[in-house]
Amino acid sequence: MTPFPIDSIIELTYLIATALFVMSLKWMSSPTTARHGVWAGELGMLLAIVGTLLNRSIVDYKWVAIALVLGTIIGVPLGKVQMTAVPQRTALSHAFGACCVTLVGTAEFYLRAPAVPKFMMSVLSMEVILGSLTFTGSLMAAGKLQEILPQRPILFKGQNIVNLGMLLVAIGVAVFLVLHPDHTYLFPALLAIPLLFGVMMIIPIGGADMPTVISLLNAYAGLSASAMGFVLDSKLLIVAGALDGASGLILSVNMSKAMNRSFSNVLFGGFGQEQTVAKGGKETRPVRSASPEEAAEILAVASKVVIVPGYGMAVAQAQHKVRELYDNLTKRGIDVKFAIHPVAGRMPGHMNVLLAEADIPYDKLLDMDEINGEFPQTDVALIIGANDVTNPAARTDTTSPIFGMPILDVDKAHTVMVIKRSMAAGFAGIDNPLYYLDKTLMLFGDAKGFVGSIVRELSGSGNHG
């Protein structure tokens, strides 16, 4: 009866951690259980790290300890960023993850070189290639989202050929190294080329497309982590990487579907640029606009209101004012719901997070599919800083760049009110026929300010009445 050896204990912690990670994602399926998900994830992570620290092959804890402390110190502020900064934070953490994977891969190569078995070398190359291009790519994405770098896509002739070429060269080198691992001097190329490729890959992509790109990079990051798992023969790592990859893939597919655009269009389309070029002769048709007073009166007499938030609400940080509006209207017994388009804002679930931050109960936030049926019975559809996701052209105008993109059928409501600062176009850079309907009232102004004055009016009239 030998006692249970330490190695099997470690292996067991990894197994349990794997199970916890899967549970963690299962619990994310509903907001009621989601927090258990986080706890499960944390517990699994803790188990795995402690288990690793027990490993007898660790001879020196000094650097490990220092690094763990340092990482924590950097991590805390990254966990405290504003909700509006979440996209760039996500991009940044992809960069960190990829960085970790690439460095480990590099070290592993030089520890094993020159006698690296074929299979080992192939996963190693995959690990470092994916890792390093994800690293620079994510940094670029973060930069564009933080608006340190120019938002608009930079295009030059033959760009795609050049990029493709680089990628092929990198793969070629990898193949050569698999066959002749003794040519270790070639290895740095497996880092350098993808690092450059990562930059070139992002340059031609518009700032507003970054979310889709981030999700793709998320998938890459996951794959590289899995590859690392193959190298270190760590099943836990393989599973975690696969899960991460799957989520990145699903999110990017969702987004392109909801935008009715193909990956290639996102990656090579240079879409964001169109923002500048206005489609055809600028519209000059008249629109009806209204003041906060009028808007307030219309809302006050409504019995069912649907609020459609968009990127503008995020930019204006208007969610708290919107919450006041919601409270005021519900107090009057008006049924208020929120219509959330899958790609409203600039990242998946953007609107949900902002509105949740403003304490609006999540059962009032309805998916496009859930709410679209309700617009015909809706008295007022109040659009706050949304544009493309309400553009009827997507349904009718086959020539429109967003034709076929599923939209919120706000035009079916009795009255439509649109809060935005101007007649300017949205992300897709196209005009919105909705604004010229007779039932539509344009409420020009900053989302936060305008909603604020509506609320003031309402509470005012509330006192009179």
Residue with tokens 């949304």: 386
Residue 190 contacts residue 128 (beta carbons within 8 Å): yes
* Smallest distance, ligand NAP to C-beta of residue 87, A: 9
Please report the DSSP string for 169-210 in residue order: HHHHHHHHHHH-TT-GGGHHHHHHHHHHHHHHHHTTS-GGGH
Output 350 or 420, the one with its CB closest to other proteins. 350
Among 152, 279, 320, 364, binds other proteins (CB under 8 A): 364
Residue 87 found at the interface with ligand NAP (CB under 6 A): no
For other proteins, the closer of residues 75 and 460 by Cβ is 75
Contact with ligand NAP (CB under 6 A) among 144, 321, 337, 420: 420
- Under 8 Å between Cβ of 357 and 365: no
42-81 residues near other proteins, rule: CB under 8 A? 42, 44-45, 48-49, 51-53, 55, 57-61, 63-64, 66-68, 70-72, 74-81
Please, what is the minimum distance in Å from the beta carbon of residue 313 to ligand NAP?
7
Residues 6 or more apart whose CB falls under 8 angstroms from that of 88 comprise 141, 142, 145, 146
Q: Which is catalytic among the residues 209, 244, 388, 409?
A: 388
Here's the x/- map for other proteins, 284-303, by CB under 8 A: it reads as --------------------
Contacts (CB under 6 A) with ligand NAP, residues 286-345: 310-312, 315-316, 343-345
User: Is 60 part of the annotated catalytic residue set?
Assistant: no
Q: Is 249 in the site for ligand NAP (CB under 6 A)?
A: no
Integer Cα distance of 395 and 412 in angstroms: 13
Q: What count of other Cβ atoms lies within 10 Å of the Cβ of residue 94?
A: 26
Q: Which residues contact 315 (CB under 8 A, 6 or more apart)?
A: 385, 447
Q: Identify the helix (H) or strand (E) that includes residue 36.
A: helix 34-53
What CA–CA distance (Å, rounded) separates 75 from 86? 14
**Tokens 């951690």 — which residue?**
17
292 binds, among other proteins, ligand NAP, none (CB under 5 to 8 A by kind): none
**Binding partner at 386 among other proteins, ligand NAP, none, C-beta below 5 to 8 Å by kind:** ligand NAP
Residue 415 backbone phi and psi in degrees, to 5: -125, 140
Residue 66 binds which one of ligand NAP, other proteins, none, with CB within 5 to 8 A depending on kind?
Answer: other proteins
> Which residue ranges make up the site for ligand NAP (CB under 6 A)?
208-209, 211-212, 255, 259, 310-312, 315-316, 343-348, 350, 385-389, 419-422, 424, 426-428, 446-447
